[in-house]
Chain A
Amino acid sequence: MLQPLRETCRRLLQDGTVQVVIGYGQAVRAVEPYPVFITDPDDVGQLVWNEQCRTNLVKYLLRKEIRVLGKPAIVVKGCDERAIVVLEQESQIDRSQIVVIGVACDGMAEPRCEVCDAHQPRFADHTIGHATNVAQPAERRYAALCEFLEQPPSDRMAYWKAELERCVKCYACRQACPLCYCERCIVEKNRPTCLDTSATLKGNFAWHIVRAFHLASRCVGCDQCSRVCPEGIDLRLVNLSMARASEASFGHRSGTDPQAELVLGNYSQQDQEHFIR
């Protein structure tokens, strides 16, 4: 895998197709490979690929520090690339100005990998390796959520209170999210202040409600938010709940179909309304 990956990147840099490769490089001491930005074809030897490549690099397509480096090629997994699909649907990137190198993945030993149905990238310009995409029934994909929802609401509330009590509002969840691209996050808006910036329980609930709902029907389930949380708050459950609702109600799985209409901002006269008096 690694050799063809490096070769592809070298070729793309050498022939001037791209000016920078966004990939994974081996950290000196850290356990996880970290993102590297390779501009010199002779440096492709820095690229690594292993089962620790958990970071979703798609975020870097949006960061202006990386944008100034020129036209990028980006290394993605089948799960990561869904974010590229959404970013294009939401006018954040010009797909023709990005070369996507998909790498087949057998899993990164994360909970979501067990129910992954995107081991093999589908929308990449170059694909390295082969993996089999096994369709996963929705019940399996949302099993963690279903189990959680078996508790009574008061227990769920107690769970989130205990979790969000720890949130320090470092915004790592937002900064790592490939779909958080607002020029000015709503939490930074004052006049009026929509939600308290304080890392109190009140401010933290408001923040995590906003964060989850701003990803409603958009979240691609890459779990970066949970991965990076220094307080270990597992945000998967809220993301899953939004994903399940948009799949169940609108047949929409974010990032799986570039042609699909986005859920919010569109509507159907047939949308359910059993809950409306």
Chain B
Amino acid sequence: MARIGVLTCWCGENIARNVDVQSVAEQAAQLPGVRCSRVHKYMCSDPGQKLIRDTIAAERLDGVVIASCSPHMHLKTFRKAAEHASLNPYLVEMANIREHCSWVHPERSRATAKAVDLIRVAVAKVRHNRALEPIQVPVTRKVLVVGGGVAGIQAALDIADAGVPVVLVEREPSIGGKMAGLSETFPTLDCSQCILTPRMVEVAQHPNITLYTCSDVEQVEGYVGNFQVTIRKRARYIDIDKCTGCGQCWSVCPSKKTPSEFDYGLGARTAIYAPFPQAVPARPVIDRDACLRLTKGRCGVCVKKCQADAIRFEDQDELVREDIGAIIVATGYQLYEIGKPDDRGRIAGYGEYGYGRYPDVISSLQFERLVSASGPTGGEIRRPSDGTVPKTVVFLSCVGSRDNAKGLSYCSKICCMVNAKHTMLYKHKVHDGQAHVFYMDIRAGGKNYDEFVRRAIEQDGAHYHRGRVSKITQEDGRLIVRGVDTLAGEPLTIAADLVVLAAAMRPATGVEELAQKVNVSYDEFGFLCESHPKLRPVETNAAGVFVCGACQGPKDIPESVTQASAAAGKVLMMFSRDRLYREPEIAHVQESACAGCFSCRRGCPYHAIDPAEIRDRQGQLVRRVARVNPGLCMGCGTCVALCLSKSIDLEGFSEQQVYAMVESLR
């Protein structure tokens, strides 16, 4: 016979105002299986928890129902209290008589009746609860960081410095990400490369970091603590161990017309090239689509020039497997493609701004390159069309962002600051120039951020116009920007030499495919979903997978770095024990009843179900059945509903428990 204790909380007046707690407790005492019923003013307080422990001990309870608030609030608290009284924590259930009852039903008698029902349901359930032990899984103490931008670099270094090996996978030939291409950073105007490149070198030299550039994550198998990751190292055509990075090869390369990715097309590069002077690894790569040898079989001057014999035209893609314990995704962002709709046709472009048609309409990342000392103009601000110094520059905020009509409803968060920075950098270089900014709102929340914007306006004289630009046309070599100043309440036309569009931040291409490989959900814009926006901001719902940086949502450098360190901290915490402990409320198969139709396997969001073979004593195959991998199962129970014979069940929400709950409402 069950010995269940029901402990009902007053929650001060919160419950007691609308629920007759005393009456509830008396009625609960009469429920089948209930051994005792107690009340307390604040069950979650120390004395309340003591009451729980004492009652468990005194009445030798084998099940506990706490009737108080939401289990999301205090189930963990009460389960811990039970554990202290040597009762298995999974024998504790809650009845939510506050959020679901006293707070929403002011009519006292009805609230009281409902509270008893809610307890009835919880008692019915707890009678079928089983003592569960956390699932232990071994853990491989090695981390995969996907993406070598500032977030990935930070996370990798933090973890590696703690003595844990890191595998850093970067798609591009060099790490550094978007930050490596910036000129100065707000709000301090310190040099982006000066602060980043030493960290990049640190990565390259760190004994605990294995760096794969020109590489993609091909496949992720396994589960938390035990992932097997396949990495595709794309052919680089350079033996980076032999190469010294002397630069002779690219100085002689005859194929010189490929637009430079690093300069966002504002400059050109050779077919064999290092993406930028401070690239890490400081080794060139051959662009197979531009190389004359690889496309036409001719040429090979670089080979002749290379004294290290490091060029390998026969290089092939290579697959590398790594055993990994945790994964940090830091794939960053890309800019919204201003001129054209995206490939799914979902996000319409801004044809009216002439981006791509007029060479002097550029994006803010292109402007960064124009200002950068390492950029195509050596840091002089010159128009892409004719190389003249622009005397009037118009900056547009919110190109894509906050524009439902274009399919992006969110604020990209950094553009206001970027625009302010750009007006300043411009003014510092072109003293007689005039910067204009069209904006919707100025969002400058952050330490020293608003001061920074004020400086741009007040000291550097940028003209800020609150309003949007409807059209940009080209006349006599100048750009006619037609907009509206809504504060003045009149249309505004500016003849500009250069227009800079602060395009929205979007997640990097390919992130959705990666998310599917690691079972992380993403929102309608492709940003990865964290577990909880406030309390679990770098964890995901896939155990052992963490996120940081702009792949999770628009953010600036300090935020990305903070998140990266947070993710690193989470991983290190996870690795601080020899084994991982997972929630035991997962599915399991009753193999004797399983018919092996594998509909559970089809539906499992975590690929946690594998076929297993049942063989007789002679080793003959009798049947194939489904088997749950406890390391992968997250306990959603989708398999249970799909199983026709109910041969698979979910601990914690078992068929028996759920039916008992419904039946109790009869």
Contacts and interface: CB of A to CB of B under 8 A. Distances in A.
A–B touch (CB < 8 A): the answer is yes
Interface of A: 90-92, 181-186, 189, 191-194, 214, 262, 264-266
Contacts of A189: 593, 645-646
B595 A262 contact: no
A184 B590 CA distance: 11
A141 to B, nearest CB: 25
A182 B644 contact: yes
Contacts of A92: 595-597
A189 to B, nearest CB: 6
Pairs of residues from A and B, 3 with the lowest C-beta to C-beta distance, nearest first: A265-B602, A182-B645, A192-B659
A51 to B, nearest CB: 34
B656 A192 contact: yes
Interface residues of B, number: 23
Interface string B600-614: 111100000000000
Given A214-B644, A265-B603, A265-B642, A183 B597 contact: no
B642 A264 contact: yes
Contact of B592 (A183, A262, A265): A183
Contacts of B645: 182-186, 189
B660 A192 contact: yes
A91 B656 contact: no
Interface in B572-628: 592-603, 623-624
Given A189-B645, A192-B660, A182 B599 contact: no
B655 interface: yes
Contacts of B230: none
Centre residue among B594, B601, B644, B656 by max chain A CB count within 10 A: B644
A262 B304 CA distance: 59
B656 A265 contact: no
Interface in B613-666: 623-624, 642, 644-647, 655-656, 659-660
A91 B623 CA distance: 11
B436 to A, nearest CB: 43
A73 B620 CA distance: 23
30 contacts: A90-B598, A91-B597, A91-B624, A92-B596, A92-B597, A182-B593, A182-B595, A182-B644, A182-B645, A183-B595, A183-B623, A183-B647, A184-B593, A184-B645, A184-B647, A185-B645, A186-B646, A189-B593, A191-B656, A192-B655, A193-B659, A194-B659, A214-B644, A264-B603, A265-B599, A265-B600, A265-B601, A265-B602, A265-B603, A266-B603
Contacts of B659: 192-194
A92 B625 CA distance: 11
B513 to A, nearest CB: 16
A266 B602 contact: yes
Nearest to B593: A184
Nearest to B655: A192
B124 to A, nearest CB: 11
A186 B594 CA distance: 11
Main secondary structure of the interface of A (DSSP, over half): loop
A242 B660 CA distance: 29
Contacts of A266: 602-603
Contacts of B598: 90-91
B596 A194 contact: no
Contacts of B642: 264-265
A194 B647 CA distance: 12
Contacts of A184: 592-593, 645, 647
Centre residue among A183, A184, A266 by max chain B CB count within 10 A: A183
A184 B644 CA distance: 10
Contacts of B602: 262, 265-266
Contacts of B599: 90, 262, 264-265
A19 B660 CA distance: 50
Contact of A91 (B596, B603, B644, B660): B596
Contacts of A264: 599, 603, 642
Contacts of B644: 182, 186, 214
A148 B597 CA distance: 33
A264 B646 CA distance: 15
Contacts of A194: 646, 655, 659
B643 to A, nearest CB: 9
Centre residue among B592, B597, B599, B623 by max chain A CB count within 10 A: B597
Nearest to A62: B595
Contacts of B603: 264-266
Contact of B595 (A181, A192, A193): A181
Nearest to A193: B659
Nearest to B598: A91
Contacts of A265: 599-603, 642
Nearest to B604: A265
A154 B593 CA distance: 38
A264 B623 CA distance: 23
Contacts of B592: 183-184
